[in-house]
Amino acid sequence: MKGRTVLVPEQGTAGSSKPLLVEGEGRRRVRRIRELVIEGGLLVAALVSVATTTMILAVLVVESLGFFDTVSLYDFLTDTLWTPLFDDPHYGILPLLAGTIVTSMVGLLVAIPIGTVSAMYLSEFASPRVREIIKPVLELLGAVPTVVYGYFALLVVTPALQWIWPDLPGFNMLGPGIVIGIMILPLVISLSEDAMRAVPMMLREGSYAMGATHLETAWRVVVPAATSGIVAAYVLGISRAVGETMVVAIAAGQNPNLTWNPMEPAATITAYIVQVALGDLPHGSIGYRSIFAAGLVLAMMTFTFNILGHVMRKRFREVY
């Protein structure tokens, strides 16, 4: 509190209209300058992240332009082969895109049902005590390094699946897809739970007053009221799944393969980028540039989903 100007009359001066301390003109100017400097500093700090994002996008676009000098956009989008490093190179993004979509879909098929039900349980049914235990554990799940998840997919989940389907290859999209689902589960649960808890109590009371049970209230009133928030959680989950790298690079195999069958091995966009970025490609070669083109596609996908997700999250906040 030192140095703060006190305008309230001190004891003993009560009744007098003049405040005990009146700030001088000089002090006021110093304070104003100090505020401006601090504010400017904060602005610069905030701009760093904005600038970084912009630069990344710029690099992606510029390097991709070099790529598209050699490869036509039409071939990029329609060719069914992705073999940029072969003697007979093909640059069709479709096999990588298919790999990304399949692994993400498997992940969502795991994360959406489990995530929604878990969020509903945590928000509507769990006692505060149970919630206190489960929530930190969920956050722990989010703290596991992705490389660990990758080996988990390769060495635990896939062998377990092979026990059910003996023909399943050691590298496949199903195992990593399931693990991606587990990875995005904390995100989906915590965002959906936020959305459900934001539903005002008076709506629940209205439902109970009509004779509804706990489950009916949760399912017919709370979940519909939280829909946009829950969908936003899914969308942000998709964004995370699409961008997931380590798990698929380790456990899905790294050969681009245009297939929609999750039982087959395939490479995703991210897995390809890892594979190529770790190799020793000459700077400026077409193979080197191809990772920027692939990266641009990926960035556009995740940006779209992120923006969509945040717009929806904002919308549900405005309902009440």
Is position 204 an interface residue for another protein (rule: CB under 8 A)?
yes
Query: Which stretch in 36-44, 68-76, 217-225, 262-270 sits in contact with another protein by CB under 8 A?
Result: 217-225
Q: Are 180 and 103 in contact (CB under 8 A)?
A: yes
Is position 206 an interface residue for another protein (rule: CB under 8 A)?
yes
* Site size for another protein (CB under 8 A): 20
Q: How far is the CB of 127 from another protein (least distance, A)?
A: 9
Q: How far is the CB of 192 from another protein (least distance, A)?
A: 16
Give 82's DSSP letter: B
Is position 314 an interface residue for another protein (rule: CB under 8 A)?
no
Distance CA 99, CA 84 (A): 17
Is position 130 an interface residue for another protein (rule: CB under 8 A)?
no
Nearest residue (CB) to another protein, 152 versus 316:
316
DSSP-assigned letters across all residues of 264-320: S----HHHHHHHHHHS-PPTTSHHHHHHHHHHHHHHHHHHHHHHHHHHHHHHHHHH-
Q: How far is the CB of 312 from another protein (least distance, A)?
A: 15
Is position 69 an interface residue for another protein (rule: CB under 8 A)?
no
Is position 213 an interface residue for another protein (rule: CB under 8 A)?
yes
Q: Give the list of residues 6+ apart from residue 126 with CB closer than 8 angstroms, or none.
A: 134
Give burial (CB, 10 Å; 0-12/13-18/19+) of 304: middle
Amino acid code (one letter) for 97: L
Distance CA 64, CA 296 (A): 7
Is position 68 an interface residue for another protein (rule: CB under 8 A)?
no
Nearest residue (CB) to another protein, 156 versus 210:
210
Q: Give the list of residues 6+ apart from residue 190 with CB closer than 8 angstroms, or none.
A: 119, 135, 138, 139
Is position 202 an interface residue for another protein (rule: CB under 8 A)?
yes
Is position 319 an interface residue for another protein (rule: CB under 8 A)?
yes
Nearest residue (CB) to another protein, 31 versus 214:
214
Amino acid code (one letter) for 99: G
Q: How far is the CB of 305 from another protein (least distance, A)?
A: 25
| Partners of residue 213 on adjacent β-strands | none
Is position 208 an interface residue for another protein (rule: CB under 8 A)?
yes
Q: Are 154 and 252 in contact (CB under 8 A)?
A: no
Is position 164 an interface residue for another protein (rule: CB under 8 A)?
no
Q: Which of 26, 145, 211, 282 binds another protein (CB under 8 A)?
A: 211
Q: How far is the CB of 217 from another protein (least distance, A)?
A: 9
Q: Which of 125, 144, 205, 284 binds another protein (CB under 8 A)?
A: 205
Distance CA 70, CA 78 (A): 15
> Which positions lie near another protein, rule CB under 8 A?
200, 202-213, 216, 220-221, 224-225, 227, 319
